[in-house]
Amino acid sequence: MIKQEIKERVLDTTLLSYRQGLFAGTSGNLSEYDPQTGYMYITPSSYPYEAMTVDDIMVIDLDGNIIEGSHHPSSEWRMHAIVYRNMAPRVLSVVHTHSPYATAFAVNHQTIPAVLIEALVFLGGDIRCADYATPGTKEVGLNAVPALEGRRGCTLANHGVLAVGGDLAQAYLNAEYIEDVAKIYAIARSVGTPVELKSL
């Protein structure tokens, strides 16, 4: 059964991500997984956010079969599916961004230390960088899963950011905090020597 309320959440969070600068152009994607049906509700591939409506949200299974929708699902659907296969039901939402500060550390293959309390409370600690894999392949997800162990987000080498959560609101918030921690850490490095928080 297709659940309209999930499609609406996916659309609303997508537009919010775009307005807040976590998505740019047609880059970035997000999804919510319904464990009752095994369906993933995910943004369409290469579709302009300004024109997106609830009818553009794709519904697929974890093998990529289209259940509902007239577009191709995001090219990163395999990454989302791998995360759900390995981390559901703890993780039921994925937000993948190309937010600039965090992605800059991903390009350098650098861990972002937990320099803000939000990193400990919301993200589980430092933000690891998953090994590189060609975008659009299942290997992106396979490499991300170990980087997400004990964490609610990671960066993807030379690619972007992956945030997860028990619901879309949590995954979106975690994506915001990853970018905020990365930005503060980058600025702090330019003016001194940042101190990592080891505990609350």
Structure tokens at 82: 């791998």
129 and 109 Cβ atoms separated by less than 8 Å: yes
Q: From the CB of residue 90, how many other CB atoms can be counted at a distance below 10 Å?
A: 10
Catalytic residue among 32, 76, 176, 179: 76
- CB-CB contact of 14 with 27 (8 Å): no
Which residues, including other chains, have CB under 8 Å from residue 68's CB and lie 6 or more apart? 2, 58, 59
Distance from C-alpha of 97 to C-alpha of 21, rounded to nearest angstrom: 9
Structure tokens, 110: 């650098």
Residue 58 has, within 13 A of its CA and on its CB side, a CA count of 23
Dig out the tokens for 78 from the structure.
């395999």
Question: Three-state SS for 93?
Answer: strand
d(CA 132, CA 122): 25
The yes-or-no answer on residue 196 being catalytic is no
Catalytically active residues are 76
